[in-house]
Structure 1
Amino acid sequence: MTMNAKKNLHVRIYSDSLALPRQGSVAFSERYITILKQWWIRQKEYEDIELVDRSMGGQSIVTLYDMYRQDITYFGSEGDILIIHTGIVDCAPRPVPTRIRNIISGLPKFLKDPAIRFLHNHRSKIQKSGLMWKHVNPEEFSAYYSAFLKNAADNFSRIYCISIAPTNPATELHSPGYSASVAEYNTIIKNCILNADNKNVNYIDIHMVIVNEYLKIDSYILPEDGHHLTPLTHRLIADNIIQVELSHHSQLHP
């Protein structure tokens, strides 16, 4: 490819905190999107990498899709690569509904602290009793994920949907139902991809890779919180996406 034929690669990523750096654990350079950007640069195929990074802690599919729709008014509806990495905020089982949680957060400190301490200490018992809520219920999650893909599938050359990673035994013990919820929402993601019926949409199944190496879970998931990713998992995601990118490039340049 000649220099005149080069173009910019337009990439957008919509994710919660799992795609972000983490102080003391994941450096900026160890993020999978940073690894990917450096790889694309090394291919010397693009003039520049235009990266719209919408990774933000605590965001659900609802807010991420809303950000995507807002971004269309600024960046347009078309791009080269779209990465969707969401689900843990939506599916993690909680001992009280979001509305009650927000009320507790607004209480005076002398009331808020005991309430939070009670929920933390009794979370396992509460959830084992069958009392658990999710920030975004399965039906709503499916509707938003499907809408995201329907809106984007024909407008991006490649879309990468990253599965929700498994948790560790300590987190499952503290929050019973966590693993089952992750499995349920990953199934929803896969079904949304199947229903989209578009070859541009790729499922990056890090969940399966980590489950197959579950005895080494601490190598993939940070032990202290049970859901944030280690540098090894960031590298795993990047490597899986690079394999698809290489396949795409070989089809363009046989």
Structure 2
Amino acid sequence: MISGKKILILSDSVALARDTPETCSFENTWPYLLREKGYMVHQVSIGGATSTDLLNQINYHTGFNPDILILNVGIVDCAPRFMTKTELGIMKRIPFIGNKIIGLMNNNKVRQVRKISYVSIGQFEKNIRAIINYFKGIQILILGIVPATIEYEKLLPGITENINKYNKVLNNYGHFMPIDEIEQDALMSDHHHLNAKGQKYIFEVINNNVMKIMIK
């Protein structure tokens, strides 16, 4: 029986409703649509979360005892950065000087030279493996990172390559669900968050895959 299955969602902000840069209501999000389908959903979605952040939250949610885990993470991990999180933290402690330094470094030339991501690909793989090891014996579905548009690559050079690399890691674990066929008009103007059309597309991908694995 599909209806009533317990689903735990671990995700960044891609699964959340939002008002910027455009609006996507709570009722249009794919976790809400899964609830409407009859699944019992426990959603742990954190804006700006990396795989490290989600891993650190797991102990609070294993007691839900899900039948299915849906993991949706990676864009925050892999995006090219001009500073590490630690460096940014230091700059924020000295706001007068720090803000000037951030302003000088926040450009694509610095990103291309430094080649920094918040989570290295090696650490990303360790995190994904660790998350999965918490949930042995259940079905694990992993959403691919939303592919970069041409415009996104222009804004953030290197994002396409990074997304492809991190998606290859995700493809090695659980039941991987690529979303390469998502249409550009399913994305908001920031090129990685989903509008209502994108949320519905993700819901359909997930629902179809859940039905496939549960009837085996």
Report the TM-score when normalising by structure 1. 0.76
Unpaired runs of 5+ residues, structure 1, are 42-48, 194-200
CA contact (8 A) 2:3 2:38 kept: no
- In 2, are the aligned partners of 1:96 and 1:132 still within 8 Å (CA)? no
Report the Cα offset of residue 181 of structure 1.
0.6
Deviations for 1:47-84, whole angstroms, at most 9, x for unmatched residues?
Answer: xx2x3211011111112122113322x43xx3212111
Cα distance in 1, alignment partners of residues 177 and 55 from structure 2: 19
- Structure 2 residue matching 1:160: 3-state secondary structure: strand
Percent identity for Structure 1 against Structure 2: 25
- What is the CA-CA distance between 1:249 and the residue it aligns to? 5.2
For the pair shown, the structure with the greater C-alpha radius of gyration is 1
In the aligned structure 2, how far is the partner of 1:106 from the partner of 1:57?
Answer: 22
Equivalent residues of 2:16, 2:29 under 8 A apart? yes
The equivalent residue for 2:187 is: 221
Give the counterpart letter for 2:186 in structure 1: Y
- 1:36 is matched with 34
Gaps spanning 5+ residues in structure 2: where? none
Structure 1 stretches of at least 4 aligned residues deviating more than 4 Å after TM superposition: 248-251
Report Cα offsets for 1:74-104 as digits up to 9, x if no partner.
43xx321211100111111101222211122
- Whether 1:68 aligns to 2:58 is yes
Per the TM alignment, residue 142 of structure 1 is displaced from its structure 2 partner at its CA by 0.4
Q: Which residue of 1 aligns with 2:111?
A: 127
- Matched residue, 2:169: 188
Amino acid of the structure 2 residue aligned with 1:236: Y
Give 1:87-102 correspondences, 5 Å limit.
87-102=74-89
- With normalisation by structure 2, the TM-score equals 0.88
Which amino acid in 2 is paired with 1:205? P
Query: What SS is found at the alignment partner of 2:37?
Result: helix
Greater helix share, 1 or 2? 1
The alpha-carbon deviation at position 7 of structure 1 amounts to 8.9
Note the C-alpha offset of 1:170: 3.2
Instruction: Give the Å deviation of 1:248.
Output: 4.3
Aligned residue among 87, 90, 114 for 2:100: 114
Counterpart residue type for residue 17 of structure 1? S
RMSD: 2.2
Does residue 230 in structure 1 map to residue 195 in structure 2? yes
Of structures 1 and 2, the one scoring higher in RCO (CA 8 A, sep 6+) is 2
What residue is the counterpart of 1:86 in the other structure?
73
Shift in alpha-carbon separation, 1:248–1:226, aligned structure 2, 3 A: closer
Aligned residues: 214
